[in-house]
Amino acid sequence: MKSLFLSLTLASFLVGCSSEAPKDLGISKTTQTFKDCPDKKNCVSSFAPEDSHHYLAPLSSALPVDEAKAKIKKIVSDMPRVKLIEETDQYLRYEFTSAIFRFVDDVEFSFAIPDKIHFRSASRIGYSDLGANRKRLVHVKFQFNQNQY
């Protein structure tokens, strides 16, 4: 039994480490949105339909885009196991890596729509993330609205 557990643990670890970023991340040039969440419970997006379990309302911000983006960058950089992967004038993409199994979540922020900060956070593999992506973005929203940064 112990051997089976160790084998499953090792297999999960290797799968978590080997996942590659989806090729279709980023803001759509035509719709100004992110790709849709898959039909799994491991994705949260401000562009998901409001009646969906994937939906989380975007941040409202009266700050200029460069200030809002700097504030998001500061909040996210203070979080554990995060790496900035891509940055443009209106977009940020991060990778978060879980502590134990090294699973990777892709987190995106869009500043393309005035007065709104849209986001998407999704696990690369698996069906459920036990709420990790939602908790992460709720934390970012809370910190952003606290004006501590």
pTM of the model: 0.83
For 47-92, what is each residue's pLDDT tens digit?
Answer: 999 999 999 999 999 999 999 999 999 999 999 999 999 999 999 9
Residue 105 belongs to what domain range? 2-146
Percent of the residues in the chain that have a pLDDT greater than 90, as a whole number? 66
What is the tally of structural domains in the chain?
1
The mean pLDDT value of the chain amounts to 87
The distance in angstroms from the start CA to the end CA of the chain is 49
Structure tokens at 144: 């952003």
**Separation of alpha carbons 92 and 86, rounded Å:** 6
What CATH number did the domain enclosing 131 receive? 3.30.310.80
85 closest CA partner among 134, 20, 35: 20
**Residue 15 pLDDT:** 45
Backbone angles phi, psi at 91, to 5 degrees: -155, 140
Q: Which tokens hold the place of 39?
A: 């039909």
